A and B are shown apart, each in its own frame.
Chain A
Amino acid sequence: MVKYISKRLLYMIVSLLIIITATFFLMRIAPGNPFTSEKKLPPEIEANLNEHYGLDKPWYVQYGDYLVRIVQWDFGPSFKYESRTVNDLINDGFPVSLTLGLEAILFAVAVGIVLGVIAALRHNKWQDYTAMIIAVFGISVPSFIMATFLQYIFAIKLGLFPVARWETFSHTVLPALALGATPMAFIARLTRSSMLEVLSNDYIKTAKAKGLSRGAMIMKHTIRNALLPVVSYMGPLAAGIITGSFVIEKIFGIPGLGSHFVLSISNRDYTVIMGVTVFYSILLLVSILLVDIAYGLIDPRIKLAGGKKGE
């Protein structure tokens, strides 16, 4: 187990290095810089700024400096927000996105699994059709339409929730629903199809033949096995969702991390681009690792280290 994890950690560092390198060069190739604006700066001011931020140094020096700073977990100052560092932006934005993301995941998993299980157990009956219609809607309606729709119905027409901003719990409900709708639908479909597959297995027939109750059979033998695909979907989903969604955060005016992924690029805010990319990559790589470990726990057939050793 230890050997497996350390090997995976090594791979993670290599992946991270590749991501950092690719982002760094793509970013520098893009025309324009943080100080490009419709009112061009006098050359002496631009030169002064470039010197201050080290942008006048050769690329390999900048690249090297940057790697050193990442190791120290210091992403530097933001170009776009003078009073803030990239670490500030992440420290402030991530908890917000995390809260919203967890709410959305909770909603997606709870409702998605229930819908999927119901659909599978009532296969080709009206419950199945209803659940799948909801799921198809969830998958096919883009989140910005979902968000606008929820905002219009529940905030403007019914007045149940505020339109936007991030203050009390009630401010979080609509964005969490909008954010969770697509994964919820996806989980419902995944659960349904894998439930159906599991239900047709021989061991389920055996269980039935043994006289096991339907409830026990479903809880012990079916759901547990049927959830494997859902778990593997959860890793990347969690990393994506807890780092925030640009669209949802924009529409609901949420001060999360999601907007930085997009706006930093149009601002050419070099340090923020790198900072959020590194942060997201680490989260993603860690969550994939966690999923792989969770596999082993849920399904004893999967051996992490590829052998009996260490088990």
Chain B
Amino acid sequence: MKKSKLSLLLVLSLVLSMFLAACSGGKDNADGDKGKTDSKKKVSQELRLNIKTEPFSLHPGLANDSTSGGVIRQIYEGLTRIDKDGKPQPAAAEDIKVSDDLKTYTFKLRDAKWSNGDPVIAEDFVYAWQWAVDPANQSQYAYQLYYVKNGQAINEGKAKPETLGVKALDDKTLEVTLENPTPYFLELTAFYTYSPVNSKIAKANKDWYKDAGDQYTSNGPFKMVQWEHSSKIVLEKNENYWDADTVKLTKISMDMINDNNTELNMFKNGELDWAGMPLGQLPQDLLPQLKKDGSLHTQPIAGVYWYKFNTEKPPLNNVNIRKALAYAINRKAIVENVTQGGQIPAMAAVPPSMIKENEQGYFKDNDAAKAKEFLAAGLKDLGLSDASKLPTITLSYNTDEGHQKIAQAIQDMWKKELGINVKLENEEWKVYISKLHNGDYQVGRMGWLGDFNDPINFLELFRDKKGGNNDTNWENPKFKQLLIDSQTESDPAKRLQMLKDAEAIFMDEMPVAPIYFYTNTWVQDENLKDVVISGLGDVQFKWAHFE
């Protein structure tokens, strides 16, 4: 009888002690962590941030998403690099010559080394570019190299990879021949698909890029020393980098935590030095609070949030109706009360960082009077007496609280200003995109981000009716011709004017209603200086340091 009581007691105390052990063990460790962060603040040049998810691939030729790009940008270097002022500067190349017809570029490479000490040679570029366009390698971003002669033909299997317009004249000279004159080619060479690959290693081991280790070599300011898949990536300063004296950070650790609230909590708790974009994200509902306490940073980026109109579905096939809808939106109210991240009302398609005048745009925000005029004209075209005779318009978006709030606000504005009935409809992301790409919608929200710093990024997708990303079924021969002509125009001012003319046509026909230009929002350790975020929203830590 004593024995059984004793055993019960024993079990209970065991459970209790395990529980206590768990608690006290945790305490020690947490304290240990704290000590570390405190001393870090004083001297250390170690940066801790969050990249949310496992990158798709850290092979520069395969990467096609912002997470992979965010890592690769720190560890690789292309022929050019976008500098602090957003201009491409010679990087892996030290001298660049362009032929008069703008079709041949000759790059003189500087004496640089891979992180393992191998020299960076012209063959590394030739190999990397040929590899990326070779259809056998399944690169989803192969089309970034279509500007180089034969790029598209090779990817379509109509030519051999060796015929790509890139040649190593000697170890230090690279000659690139383009398909067409490409005025923004030096912007492109800074893009990661154009990065070199250590050909000596890659030829010997096709899986070199799948893990950190001595096979993974890079030529940028940092090198990858650890990659715990789905958990963490650690970069360290690359001592073999040609400009290593400029690089102050000794280490960058990138966690993969896919929860906005946790990310912010870790920042507040001193476990991260940076929370938010471009690599992570802040919880939207806490933005006003962060803004109020002065810790929120915002910076406009080259991206636009817009509503696409399916120009083949009545009544949206009528330009006046489209314009009425676009003009009646109160964008200021949306960015101030709904999105609250310092976004800029968009009355144009191309972001102001590419065309300065677009801060004003092509029409007035919330222009109810004009909107009503267009509505009246539109109704007359359709032979209807008033707006209530219009069929209900369906506004679609992918399921997300943020998009929903914007859609509700706009639904309300269209009802109030124009008397048009709007039905909201939301779907899961991939279902939604498929519907949009198939033209199975009336009005649908979409976002567009530039890949490189040129207005063509935002106009090109509407060049062809079946261009893949057009979705609006809109096409205009004058618009198309201007875009085609702009490709061969070597005078930058004239070319910009052509693109502006094209945009004017676009905004006059209004196949999309722009809503706002995106911003990056983040909070950071205020001692961290010189983090460079480009107009495209890409981050570089080459110059960053703690004070």
Contact = CB atoms under 8 A, between A and B. Distances in A.
Interface string A220-232: 1000000000000
Nearest to B266: A163
B312 to A, nearest CB: 18
A250 B259 contact: yes
Contacts of A84: 54, 210, 229
Contact of A164 (B28, B57, B138, B265): B265
Given A81-B54, A156-B265, A32 B155 contact: no
Contacts of B19: 107, 110-111
Interface in A159-192: 159-166, 168-171, 173
A182 B129 CA distance: 54
A52 B4 contact: no
A31 B232 CA distance: 32
A45 B155 contact: yes
A303 interface: no
A38 B1 contact: no
Contacts of B142: 45
Nearest to B435: A31
Interface centre among A38, A43, A268 (most CB of B within 10 A): A38
B211 A215 contact: no
A40 B265 CA distance: 36
A16 interface: no
Nearest to B207: A83
A170 B30 contact: yes
A41 interface: yes
A75 B490 CA distance: 52
Interface residues of B, number: 69
Contact of B22 (A81, A164, A173, A253): A173
Interface centre among A43, A44, A88 (most CB of B within 10 A): A44
B23 A81 contact: no
A30 B229 CA distance: 28
Contacts of B271: 162-165
B262 A251 contact: yes
Interface centre among A80, A114, A161, A253 (most CB of B within 10 A): A253
B390 to A, nearest CB: 29
A116 interface: no
Contact of A45 (B27, B29, B140, B437): B140
A49 interface: yes
B184 interface: no
Given A83-B58, A164-B266, A173-B22, A215 B259 contact: no
Interface stretch (B5-13, B85-93, B170-178, B418-426): B5-13
A12 interface: no
Interface string A105-132: 0110011001000000000000000000
A173 B25 CA distance: 9
A93 B26 contact: no
A218 B433 CA distance: 62
B12 to A, nearest CB: 7
Contacts of B55: 81
A155 interface: yes
Contact of A161 (B26, B231, B257): B26
Contacts of A216: 1, 4
Contact of B25 (A88, A93, A106, A170): A170
A251 B446 CA distance: 28
B39 interface: no
A42 interface: yes
B57 A219 contact: no
B428 interface: yes
Contact of A80 (B56, B258, B429): B56
Contacts of B333: none
Interface residues on A, range: 35 or more
A83 B209 contact: yes
Contacts of B228: 255
B384 interface: no
B228 to A, nearest CB: 7
Contacts of B363: none
A253 B140 contact: no
Contacts of B139: 45
Contacts of B152: 44
Given A38-B433, A162-B30, A163-B266, A48 B257 contact: no
Contacts of B62: 82
A119 to B, nearest CB: 15
A15 interface: no
Interface string A185-218: 0000000000000000000000000000101101
A151 B26 contact: no
Interface in B125-155: 135, 138-140, 142-143, 152, 155
B231 A31 contact: no
Contacts of A80: 56
B468 A215 contact: no
B255 interface: yes
B160 to A, nearest CB: 16
Nearest to B25: A169
Given A38-B446, A165-B271, 4 more contacts: A81-B56, A81-B57, A164-B257, A255-B230
15 contacts: A30-B430, A36-B433, A41-B468, A45-B155, A48-B135, A106-B18, A111-B15, A173-B26, A215-B8, A253-B255, A253-B258, A253-B262, A259-B230, A266-B428, A268-B430
Interface of B: 1, 4-5, 7-8, 12, 15, 18-19, 22-23, 25-30, 33-34, 54-59, 62, 135, 138-140, 142-143, 152, 155-157, 209-211, 228-232, 255-259, 261-262, 265-266, 268-269, 271, 428-431, 433-435, 437, 446-448, 468-469
- Cβ-closest 7 pairs across A and B: A32-B430, A253-B257, A170-B26, A170-B29, A213-B1, A82-B57, A83-B210
